[in-house]
Chain A
Amino acid sequence: MLEMTIASLFTIAAYWWLIPVGVAVGIFVGAVPGFSSTNVLIMLLPLTLGMETNSAMAFMVSVYSGSHMGGSIPAVLFNVPGTGAAAATCFDGYPMTQQGRGQEALAIAFFASAIGGLLTTLVTWGCLPWLSRMVYYFGSIENFVIILFGVALIGQITGGNQFKGLMAGFFGLLIGAIGYDHVYSVPRATFGIVQLFDGVPRVSAIVGLFAVSEAFRMIEKDTVIDTSRLQSVLQEGWQGTLRGCVNSIKHIGAVVRSAFIGFIVGIIPGAGATIGSFVSYQQAMTLSKNREEFGRGSVEGVIAAEAANNGVTSGSLIPLLTLGIPGGGTAAVMMIVLQAHGVPIGPRLFQVMPQLAYAVVVAMLLAYIVMVAMGIPLAKSLARMSLVSTKILVPVIISFTLVGAFVERRFIFDMWLALGFGLLGYILKRTGYSPHALLLGVILGPMAEQYFLRAILLGNGNPMILFSRTLANILWVLLLCSLCAPVIMNKFRQKRRSE
């Protein structure tokens, strides 16, 4: 392992410049809502297919890592997540910007992203062959329970009225059920619209519920920041960035915990960074001594979301490199490039070409180091964007993010859908319902149904199949604990306060 790592370092030295370029492209693309590393890597396929294998993989993992950091920029500054995984960052990052602490929030997000990713990549490097065995144990039943972890969050993350949160979550799950059934291929609730046969596109939902609806709300104020804080933001130098870094170091335990939650979720193919960041956020809220600060600009809230979504990127390398199983869209694009270069796909990849696997991990390590050096100094200049008048910001956000909705399938219909979700998101926010809960339902619903139906078919229609495997039963117990823990801890805290 050590010899292969040293050999990788010498190989990477020949094309070292691809890593900072990839990180910069990733940050830039991740900051545009609706775009993701998957879209960009598909567009850059002609470029990566023409590169040498190691250099192409180094470039792609750099873009992948950078995009998760970039997604936090609009999430913190404008309450518009650049990627689905950054939706949880909005909870506390945006209130910090409104309080004039945008620079600090960005520094915390960048620090947590980079350090969280760095630590989990080191674990990947050290434990690659052993961690790969974990993937074999996760089938449809286990994946269904993992998705339920995300669904169970719906009522807990809303902060205010839990019943309204559940209502929005059920509505989101129902919207996610629109489209062809996974088993019988019959269209359900598609209104006869062909573009809905594959279901509601997630990008349109994210863009509409957050970007467009936030643009509709922004017109009520002249700037994103409270007017009372404008002067302090204008006069602030590097203090915000330093404060952010110091606060992140003070909460290093939260960084490590959140990163590893994301890492474990990332190992499971198909789970995704969105689940990782929300699960991590919910765990941080449960375990925090300052629970009431969550949703109002809590440092721990930003750390939990950002460290987790970069922990997922490292974890997702394990099934890809050791078993040839892509965990998501970006990993699937990497697989295409590997196949085109004649690399054997599947479990033989790690057996035949372990040096490629270690080269990719080393490239990711270097990408995270570059992210620290590149990202943190940017916090100060990026935070100034929140000073721009909303009269300019609103058309920029609308025109840019609607293109993000268009890019995935090239249908103008998806833009109309994003506008519809924008209207829905605006009404949700006005009436006290949670757009985050609805989004979780839209994203997790199709996945939950797919794994549920597969599990039921495996059991020939017997629902007890869901409780037939040891790992699945352990996950059910953990799910139950996760649901009961906030209630028990709340009662425990109340008892302590009364004493």
Chain B
Amino acid sequence: MSKNRTTWTTEDLFIPGLAALLAVYYLYTVRGLPFLAQMYGGTLSILCLLCFGIVLYLYCSGRSSSGKTEPGNLSTFVAKYCRFIGLFVLTALFIGILPYAGYFLSVMFLGVSVAVWLGYSRKVSSLLKVGVGIALAGFVLFVLFLNVDLPLDGVSLFIKEAIQSCWK
């Protein structure tokens, strides 16, 4: 328990809540299994549920003693975290297009879009330099040097095969 008399807010409930959800699902999936198969994960699930119960109790007792309620405002939340949300979406898009567009083009997309989103520059030439530079560095390191089997687009495949045939 905290020695510092922490004030538990709604945000503090998220992680224990997630752990509790996973614990409930875990207990559901191990029902009917032999005791040894249930024992380890089952104990952890119960511990997580217990911790969630404790955090919930501390949160509720903190709210009832202070008498305050926190204002919930979606637009405030979005305004506070909009940069993060944008970056998360761009990263998800990068992973989504990677198998189809190939590593080089996907990284170019990520580099340019993140630079625009974070306000690096409005000049197309600067943005292209960032995108191509990051994509090239990754291509040389992972594809050519470390020989990682990444999805490649037509241009990258051609460059890779050309370099490998020169090497031979």
Q: Is the CB of B18 within 8 A of A171?
A: yes
DSSP class of A's interface residues: helix, strand, loop or mixed?
helix
Interface size class of B (residues with CB under 8 A): 35 or more
Q: Is the CB of B16 within 8 A of A173?
A: no
Contacting residues, chain A, for B138 (C-beta < 8 A): 399-400, 403
Task: Give complex CA distance A407, B143 in Å.
Answer: 11
B28 vs chain A, min Cβ distance (A):
8
B41 vs chain A, min Cβ distance (A):
4
Q: Is the CB of B119 within 8 A of A391?
A: yes
In the assembled complex, A430 has its CB within 8 A of some CB on chain B? yes
In the assembled complex, B2 has its CB within 8 A of some CB on chain A? yes
In the assembled complex, B101 has its CB within 8 A of some CB on chain A? no
Per-residue CB proximity of A207-234 to B under 8 Å, as 1/0? 0000010011001100000000000000
**Residue in B40, B87, B137 whose beta carbon sits within 8 Å of that of A453 in the complex:** B40
Contacting residues, chain B, for A40 (C-beta < 8 A): 146
Given A167-B19, A174-B22, A189-B25, check contact A219 B12 (CB 8 Å): no
In the assembled complex, A452 has its CB within 8 A of some CB on chain B? yes
Given A174-B23, A399-B107, A399-B134, check contact A184 B115 (CB 8 Å): no
Comparing A88-96, A315-323, A411-419, the segment that makes contact with chain B is A411-419
Task: Give complex CA distance A178, B30 in Å.
Answer: 11
Could you list which residues of chain A lie within 8 angstroms of chain B, going by C-beta atoms? 29, 32, 35, 40, 43, 161-164, 166-168, 170-171, 173-175, 177-178, 181, 183-184, 186-191, 212, 215-216, 219-220, 389-392, 394-396, 398-400, 402-403, 406-407, 410, 412, 415-416, 419, 422-424, 426-428, 430-433, 445, 448-449, 452-453, 456-457, 461
What would 19 more interface pairs be, CB under 8 Å, given A395-B130, A398-B114? A164-B2, A167-B16, A171-B19, A174-B22, A175-B22, A183-B36, A184-B36, A187-B29, A189-B41, A216-B88, A395-B110, A395-B114, A395-B134, A399-B94, A402-B94, A403-B138, A428-B15, A431-B12, A453-B36
18 A/B residue pairs, CB under 8 Å, sorted by A:
A161-B6, A162-B3, A170-B51, A171-B22, A174-B23, A177-B40, A181-B33, A186-B37, A188-B26, A188-B41, A215-B87, A216-B84, A219-B83, A219-B84, A394-B87, A403-B138, A416-B95, A430-B11
